[in-house]
Amino acid sequence: MGYRSEVALVTTQKGYSRLMAAVACNPEATRLVIEGIENENYRADGEGNCNILFHWKWIKWYDDSDQIRLIEDWMNVEEYDKDYDEVEFNFVRIGESNDDAEERGNANYGLALQRSISF
């Protein structure tokens, strides 16, 4: 079955265009990104600027997966390409284990990591 995570990612329209370009070489990665779109008008600012919210509820988010690696590389682009315009994003991943959680990004688009007990 494998280890699963819940993942959310928010980026700008410009970031979305660059993400699609980054995954274009892999049809499965392209499908993963498109199917992950939860809201194309997330936090619109009233000036025509809006962000794209992606949400994968039960996904195997493994770095050794080609599809995931392409998305990870897109998020890490500033680490290896200083001439690339900054891509703004907010990323949150919650794994199955209580101590397995991750927040990354260079923008605050309202994603929040929370664990709670419900009954």
pLDDT digits (tens, 9 = 90+) for 41-55: 887 776 777 899 999
pTM of the model: 0.86
Q: What is each CA distance from 31 to 4, 27, 118, in whole angstroms?
A: 19, 6, 33
- If pLDDT is split at 50, 70 and 90, which confidence band does 106 have? confident
- Nearest Cα residue to 26 out of 66, 73, 75: 66
pLDDT digits (tens, 9 = 90+) for 5-44: 999 999 999 899 999 999 999 999 999 999 999 998 887 7
pLDDT digits (tens, 9 = 90+) for 71-89: 999 998 765 555 556 678 9
